[in-house]
Amino acid sequence: MSQLRAVQAANTALNELGIDQSEPVDPFEAIEDAGLLLRFQPLKDLLGAVLPGAPGGVLINSARPASLQRYTAAHELGHWFMDQDVLSLDNDESVFGHHHGEARERDAQVFAAHFLMPLELLYPVARRYGIKRGQAVDPEQVYQAARDMHVSYEATVRQLMNTRLIAPSNGNQLLKTQPAAIKLRLTAGLKLPNARGDVWIVEHPEDHAEIEAFVGDAILLRLTEYPATGYRWYAEEAQPGATVHPFRPAPPPFSGGQAFADAIPPTGGGEVIPFPAMAAASDVVSLLQDRLVQQPYQAGATAVGGAVTRLVAYTADAPGDEAIQLNHVRSVRPDAPVSRIKVTTHVRGVPEVEFRRRLIAAFARDEAEGTEWDY
């Protein structure tokens, strides 16, 4: 009954605050909309706190990962909705521990899970990654679902178990996998500059992909190329000019002897035409790596002249919007791409930075309204 009360409280909060439950929930905006003061500060042992008063306030540890800050914020909001005007000091055990006797903390955990992952959001995201009731899922599926909902991997595993989308045995096995190992597999071993950042994978996009990332995240494009055809992926601003030709120069006149044998490289693999450089887009995103997963033209390999996968990774460096536009063209015909990709990336700042931006925007609105009224 206590947990049912917490679920009902989360639903009430979502409805009273007018939150769109089909999109990722921002608990920091929710705290402010609830009339509470929000502050960020590095804390030693605490993840967050609720400070009673008129108005009350919520304190968040800004030194922790952003996903943990969001979950902590929802946990504190749960305390406010269910235990108003009661001081709450929450550490790791309070937010993620097993509370068999302390109902307040257990209820706040249930509230946070259902507030950040309401069924209207959880079910579509689960379907997106093939998470179906009664079927075992792998860590990569759960990680990508957690990333899309802007919550932690552990919180998502527990909510999938709470809603019985996955069996407890599957969930307990998933909890043994660290997110860092999952990201390493998703990126084919790419070392990320920010170990806490998320990885966004764009595979086989038809024309347009849209991503909402955070500063420190990585955007990885998996692109298929057929080098033997001469078609390559270029960033639109780095496309070759029409005068660039990828062909090798004509050989010298035949003089007999071992000319043909001498012309064959020692590896027997033929000439490898280097990939074009993929330019960085802007200050918002920058190029991290551009490499092949499967090399073409290997001696004796069946992949000669076949498809290769090109991995192009960008990092989200600063808040803002940026479009990464790539064209699949031959260097002799840069004006005639056979396909295009546009990845629109909306990069958001860390919670504390976004909070300050909201304060500045609110101050600017108040100033504008005051100036207009005085005038």
Query: How many C-beta atoms surround the C-beta of residue 292 within 10 A?
Result: 14
Pair 288, 317: CB distance under 8 Å:
no
pLDDT in tens, the chain (375 residues): 668 899 999 999 999 999 999 999 999 999 999 999 999 999 988 999 999 988 899 999 999 888 889 999 999 999 999 988 789 999 888 888 775 557 889 999 999 999 999 999 999 999 999 999 989 999 999 999 999 999 999 999 999 999 999 999 999 999 999 999 999 998 888 888 888 899 999 886 667 889 999 999 999 998 888 878 888 888 876 655 543 333 334 445 444 444 333 333 333 333 333 444 455 457 899 988 888 776 544 444 445 567 888 888 999 999 999 998 888 888 778 788 888 888 999 999 988 888 888 888 777 776 776 654 343
Token couple for 68: 């943990």
| DSSP output for 91-133 | -HHHHHS--SS-HHHHHHHHHHHHHHS-HHHHHHHHHHTT--T
Q: Is 135 exposed, middle or buried (0-12, 13-18, 19+ CB in 10 A)?
A: exposed
Rounded Cα–Cα distance for residues 316 and 296 (Å): 30
Query: How would you classify the pairing of strands 57-61 and 320-330?
Result: unpaired
Rounded Cα–Cα distance for residues 178 and 191 (Å): 15
Q: Please name each of the domains of the chain with its CATH number.
A: 2-116 (1.10.10.2910), 120-186 (no CATH), 188-245+274-375 (2.60.40.2020)
Token couple for 329: 């063209």
Pair 236, 324: CB distance under 8 Å:
no
Sheet holding 48-51, edge to edge: 37-41, 57-61, 48-51, 88-90
- For residue 119, give the amino acid letter: L
CA dihedral 272, 296, 202, 176 (to 10 degrees): -120
Element (H, E) at 58: strand 57-61
